[in-house]
């Protein structure tokens, strides 16, 4: 098992550019989520999905879109990047909704200039 | 909304010393999770506590949830350089769909 994979590991964008952060898991997990980690603020939930075709907003969803067309993939789209979106982004998955032993990917470090 | 406060924010200990990290919730905890993050990497699940007074151990790490279920502590015995990293507590927010996290405690272990 590869577990939870994220690409790319590092990315630099200019303000206004769009991009997609990729996340995939090969554990057949129902629940997937995206977090951002900023210094002194821990992890904040951006969006989550409880299964294919079902997504919902977390604490800080503005400026981000998600979709879940398959169980395995949960991409995060930045529509028009802003410097405030400079952060480290983590994708996580768990076997079922409410199962909080989440498995985390290695993260994507994003800088928006 | 529920908030988790961790203390201390950072900690430097000499190898072999014991240490404790605390996590305090503004509301009753129905599930409290401890994760460890190595610097520059993702989070790794350590343990989960659900019942008041519950205590769990894994190797040299012990976590407790108080009887009132509003505070948890993580205790490391005889710290080693491998214990260095960021320790985060997390808790259920809305029926398990949303996990909130504390800001983390950065642990440095001096050899």
Chain A residues within an 8 Å CB radius of B101: 35, 42-44
How far is residue B62's CA from residue B20's CA, in Å, rounded to a whole number?
9
Considering only the C-alpha atoms of chain B, give the largest distance between any 2 of them, rounded to a whole number of Å.
43
Residue A54 confidence (pLDDT): 95
CA quadruple B84, A22, A14, A48: dihedral sign: negative
Mean pLDDT across chain B, nearest whole number?
A: 91
| Mean pLDDT confidence for A74-88 | 97
Residues A45 and B98 sit within 8 Å (Cβ to Cβ): yes
Q: Among candidates B70, B95, B24, B42, which has minimal Cα distance to A99?
A: B95
Mind listing the pLDDT tens digit for each residue in A31-54?
999 999 998 788 999 999 999 999
Chain A residues within an 8 Å CB radius of B96: 97-100
How far is residue B3's CA from residue B5's CA, in Å, rounded to a whole number?
7
| Mean pLDDT confidence for A52-71 | 95
Residues B90, A100: C-beta atoms closer than 8 Å: yes
Mind listing the pLDDT tens digit for each residue in B28-65?
887 889 999 998 888 999 999 988 899 999 889 999 99
Q: List the single residue in B41, B96, B102 with the smallest CB-CB distance to A100.
A: B96
Phi, psi for A107 (deg, rounded to 5):
95, 155
Mean pLDDT across chain A, nearest whole number?
A: 93
Q: List the single residue in B31, B44, B102 with the smallest CB-CB distance to A42.
A: B102
Residue B39 confidence (pLDDT): 83
Residues A21 and A6 sit within 8 Å (Cβ to Cβ): yes
Residue A99 confidence (pLDDT): 60
């Amino acid at each position: 098992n590869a577990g939870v994979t994220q690409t790319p590991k590092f990315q630099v964008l200019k303000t206004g550019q769009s991009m997609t952060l990729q996340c995939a898991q090969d554990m057949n997990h129902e629940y997937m989520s995206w977090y951002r980690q900023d210094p002194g603020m821990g992890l904040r939930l951006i969006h989550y999905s409880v299964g294919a075709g079902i997504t919902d907003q977390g604490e800080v969803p503005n400026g981000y879109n998600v979709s879940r067309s398959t169980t395995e993939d949960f991409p995060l789209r930045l529509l028009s990047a802003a410097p405030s979106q400079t952060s480290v982004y983590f994708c996580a998955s768990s076997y079922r909704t409410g199962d909080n032993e989440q498995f985390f990917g290695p993260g994507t470090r994003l800088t928006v200039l | 909304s529920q908030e988790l406060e961790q203390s201390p924010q950072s900690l430097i200990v000499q190898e072999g010393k014991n240490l404790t990290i605390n996590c305090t919730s503004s509301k009753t905890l129905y599930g409290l999770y401890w994760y460890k993050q190595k610097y520059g990497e993702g989070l790794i699940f350590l343990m989960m506590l659900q019942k008041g007074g519950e205590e769990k151990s894994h190797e040299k790490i012990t976590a407790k949830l108080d009887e009132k279920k509003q505070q948890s502590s993580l205790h490391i015995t005889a710290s080693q350089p491998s214990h260095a990293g960021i320790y985060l507590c997390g808790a259920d927010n809305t029926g398990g769909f949303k996990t909130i996290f504390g800001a983390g405690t950065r642990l440095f272990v001096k050899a």
